[in-house]
Structure 1
Amino acid sequence: MTSTESTVHVVDDDASFLRATARLLRASGFTVKTFAAAADFLAAHGEESAGCVVADLHMPEMNGLGLQAELARRGNPLPVLFLSGAGDIPSTVRAMREGAEDFLEKRAEKEELVEAVKRALSRDALERNHRCRKRALRARFATLSGREMEVLGHVVRGQLNKQIADRLGIHERTVKLHRTAITTKLGVPSVAELTLLAQEAEAFPVSPQTFP
């Protein structure tokens, strides 16, 4: 098994239910790992782990909501599907608001659980691809110098070379050279494409349109 294989990580302090859920999911064709506590899962969870988490809501020390919150703070937040024998409306609302894939009772039908897991795995694949693309884009932007990033910020605002030169106190020809370097390094020729790329990579801490 590779670290990037999609795995259903089942987290539950009830040993018998943990075994039963793992057996059901394996019989349905999923790769499964089991953990008796949230801390055990988090200790094993790496940046390249793929899949989803099926977690009990009520567990000692760290409950399911705490696990969900900790995952959200990490660079690889897997989708979470909650199973609970004693759910309540506030917990359900909080879990869904924080992005839970689903919230099922432990006595839910097998088909309902399997479909929820399939959705969670599909979501993870899409989000993982998005994060990979964003990292690749940010690596491209990291090749730009500080001055080139300054120039780019004004370019995507739609400013002309002369305006940028006046703003930065440099020669207009220098702005042209920086723009050539930017388009060469990023591999996109037009302002529209540069703007879209910068937005997708979140290259600026705020939208360039808010620059003074």
Structure 2
Amino acid sequence: MLSRTAASPQSQEDQESRVVYIVDDEELVRGALGSLLRSIDLEVRAFATTEEFLAAPRAGGPSCLVLDVRLRGQSGLALQQSLLQLDLPSIPIIFMTGHGDIAMTVKAMKAGAVDFLSKPFRDQDMIDAVTAALDNDAKRLKVRRMLGELRDNWNSLTPREREVVQHVATGLMNKQIAANMGIAEITAKIHRGQAMRKMNSRSVAELVRKMEALGVVQNLT
């Protein structure tokens, strides 16, 4: 059992449960893995088939999938390919198998698997793999949320404010922006200030970085 530390302010990602999905057709394996991962305070949802996993509701926070390669019915590798076509293409997958080979490992890794453990594996190896996968998924979700907030901020700009900041991104001053747009310099300054506030940007450099992250920087020269 991992030791607990004093509570500290938590982000939304920290407050959400970290969920580990397990798909293995052996009940003993599901039970043993579930006990192991719950011992480090993780939420575990175990399934005997890929169909059960696909039909189950998804967690909103960080998650990963511990998946047996060889299953009755659809194989783990086939499920990995299916997920690329569905709503969970980014869930980190840790494969486990008692009959793995190099070709199988290469195929799984090329399709995005984060780890491949051969049975029997050490408990610590599984814990390390799951912890790393959940940390990476938490980072991915954080970036996605940040981009979502940026899109909301950008969508709150008026068409004129967007036009002004596009010129700001090219390095133009208020006077030059006003001349290009055929408006008064004070109007350009007001639009610029409002846009900076809505985008939560304290500098032009910060504003440009956010616009680049959104892919909305245009070449106006």
TM-score (norm 1): 0.77
Structure 2 counterpart of 1:182: 195
Q: 1:77 aligns with which of 87, 90, 93?
A: 90
Structure 1 counterpart of 2:48: 36
Aligned-partner Cα distance in 2 for 1:75–1:134? 18
Structure 2 counterpart of 1:5: 17
Residues 120-139 of structure 1 mapped to structure 2, 5 A cutoff: 120-139=133-152
Residues 159-198 of structure 1 mapped to structure 2, 5 A cutoff: 159-161=172-174, 163-165=176-178, 169-173=181-185, 174-198=187-211
What is the CA deviation profile of residues 3-36 of structure 1, one whole-angstrom value per residue up to 9, with x for unaligned ones?
9311211012333432332233334543311012
- Identical-pair percentage: 34
SS in 2 for 1:5: coil
Structure 2 counterpart of 1:152: 165
Structure 1 counterpart of 2:132: 119
Aligned-partner Cα distance in 1 for 2:197–2:34? 51
More divergent stretch after superposition (37-46 vs 6-15) = 37-46
Aligned-partner Cα distance in 1 for 2:64–2:25? 18
Structure 2 counterpart of 1:87: 100
Structure 2: gaps spanning 5 or more residues: 1-14
1:190–1:23 Cα change, 3 Å:
closer
Q: 1:74 deviation in Å? A: 3.2
SS in 2 for 1:103: strand
Contact residue 53 and residue 79 of structure 1 kept, 8 A: yes
Residues 34-73 of structure 1 mapped to structure 2, 5 A cutoff: 34-46=46-58, 48-59=60-71, 60-61=73-74, 63-64=76-77, 66-67=79-80, 70=83
Q: How many residues align?
A: 205
Q: 1:86 deviation in Å? A: 2.5
Contact residue 48 and residue 76 of structure 1 kept, 8 A: no
Structure 2 counterpart of 1:109: 122
What is the CA deviation profile of residues 95-118 of structure 1, one whole-angstrom value per residue up to 9, with x for unaligned ones?
333432211112222221121112
More divergent stretch after superposition (94-103 vs 116-125) = 94-103
Contact residue 22 and residue 47 of structure 2 kept, 8 A: yes
Aligned-partner Cα distance in 2 for 1:211–1:73? 38
SS in 2 for 1:55: strand
1:189–1:10 Cα change, 3 Å:
same
Q: 2:31 aligns with which of 12, 16, 19?
A: 19
